[in-house]
């Protein structure tokens, strides 16, 4: 008989921005061979309080992005309830699985409460999943001893590569949600300050989290730098990656551990450059992508990737990584750990 999981949140769709992150759907689909998700198809407007009606049915609770709880409607009250919830879960013998997606929430709002949640999760979770080896070190630095229950699994990826002729239109593609933590403004400012804003053909495309931030970066638009505030469908993304020599990530190192946008780019077979942090560093060691320390060192990395065929030699490494890191294999390996408690 399958054990029951309550998953929080039960969707990773952002209704405010009209954005969809498939992580929760992929997670529940792949884990459904081993567990039953009792609330997945039952949306609730009561936030974390919704768990109360499932206490008698729940064996495990899976938390994702729980550190963002204070940002939600009634977030302060929900956060206080979360702290009260831990002893209740203990009474019902409900085990806690937490996926540590980031070092902390990308947004700095309600930072004190978010830090409290983060620390409490490191203490109370029975098992913690991270998609970056840095997550283990980071958790251990905050709560000594927590590292022994933090388990690293590369972020699962879907192989969406096609053998198609590449007709390049852009040197650099930056895609995904346009948000301050991704450092796009700082990258564009660096190019402008160093008279490099005509050096590369750049497309920046994605839904912006705020009009003011989009206006801030739009001032750097020119004949070579296109900036578009729009959601990207899969078919469009496939074409854009095919048309781009490099997919670039300029993320801030302060909060990032792993990235769904990174894994989607790998799935499409992109030539990737990213910061030397989190999952980017892990994948650079496997030869999947290239990393940079700061913007001064980024320019030589870009130039090397534009002027050599090194990326084509990495196909075998891509094949191995994509074969070994499917969603089904992630579920299988994580189940072996979760089932021990």
Q: What is the CATH number of the domain that holds 333?
A: 3.40.50.2000
The answer to whether residues 267 and 312 belong to one domain is: yes
Q: Are 10 and 45 in contact (CB under 8 A)?
A: no
For the chain, the domain total comes to 2
The structure's pTM equals 0.91
Q: What does the alpha-carbon distance between residue 280 and residue 291 come to, in Å, rounded to a whole number?
A: 7
Distance CA 218, CA 62 (A): 39
Same domain, 50 and 174: no
Domain span holding position 243: 170-324
Q: Are residues 92 and 20 in the same domain?
A: yes
Instruction: Say yes or no: 127 and 265 in one domain.
Output: no
Is residue 133 one of the residues assigned to a domain?
yes
Q: Domain for residue 312, yes or no? A: yes
Tokens of 89: 């879960």
Provide the 8-state DSSP code for 47.
Answer: G
Same domain, 181 and 139: no
Any domain includes 163:
no
The answer to whether residue 46 is domain-embedded is: yes
pLDDT tens digits in sequence order for the chain, 341 residues long: 899 999 999 886 665 555 678 999 999 999 999 999 999 888 888 899 999 999 999 999 999 999 999 999 999 999 999 999 999 999 999 999 999 999 876 667 888 999 999 999 999 999 999 999 999 999 999 999 999 999 999 999 999 988 777 789 999 999 999 999 899 999 999 999 999 999 999 999 999 989 999 999 999 999 999 999 998 988 899 999 999 999 999 997 777 898 899 999 999 999 999 999 999 999 999 999 999 999 999 999 999 999 876 556 577 888 999 999 999 999 999 999 999 88
- How long, in residues, is the chain? 341
> Measured between alpha carbons, how far is 176 from 67 in angstroms, rounded to an integer?
22
132 and 187 share one domain: no
């Amino acid at each position: 008989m399958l054990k029951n999981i309550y998953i929080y949140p039960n969707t990773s769709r952002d209704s405010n921005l009209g954005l969809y992150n498939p992580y929760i759907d992929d997670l529940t689909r792949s884990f459904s061979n081993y567990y039953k998700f009792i609330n997945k198809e039952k949306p609730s407007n009561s936030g974390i309080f919704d768990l109360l009606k499932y206490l008698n049915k729940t064996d495990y609770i899976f938390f994702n992005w729980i550190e963002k709880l204070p940002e939600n409607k009634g977030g302060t009250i929900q956060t206080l309830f979360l702290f009260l919830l831990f002893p209740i879960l203990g009474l019902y013998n409900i085990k806690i699985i937490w996926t540590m997606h980031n070092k902390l929430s990308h947004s700095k709002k309600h930072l004190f409460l978010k830090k409290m949640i983060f620390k409490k999760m490191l203490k109370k979770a029975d098992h913690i999943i991270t998609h970056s080896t840095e997550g283990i070190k980071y958790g251990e630095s905050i709560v000594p001893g927590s590292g022994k229950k933090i388990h690293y699994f590369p972020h699962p990826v879907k192989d969406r590569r096609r053998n198609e002729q590449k007709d390049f239109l852009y040197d650099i593609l930056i895609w995904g949600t346009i948000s301050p933590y991704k450092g796009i403004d700082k990258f564009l400012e660096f190019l402008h300050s160093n008279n490099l804003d005509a050096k590369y053909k750049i497309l920046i495309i994605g839904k912006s989290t705020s009009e003011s931030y989009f206006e801030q970066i739009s001032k750097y638009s020119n004949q070579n730098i296109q900036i578009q505030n729009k959601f990207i469908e899969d078919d469009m993304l496939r074409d854009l990656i095919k048309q781009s020599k490099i997919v670039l990530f300029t993320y801030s190192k302060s909060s990032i551990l792993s990235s769904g946008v990174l894994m989607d780019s790998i799935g499409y077979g992109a030539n990737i450059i990213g910061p030397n942090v989190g999952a980017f560093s892990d994948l650079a060691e496997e030869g999947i992508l290239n990393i940079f320390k700061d913007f001064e060192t980024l320019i030589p990395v870009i130039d090397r990737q534009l002027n050599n065929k090194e990326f084509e030699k990495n196909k075998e490494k891509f094949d191995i990584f994509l074969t070994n890191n499917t969603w089904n294999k992630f579920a299988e390996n994580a189940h072996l750990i979760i089932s021990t408690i």
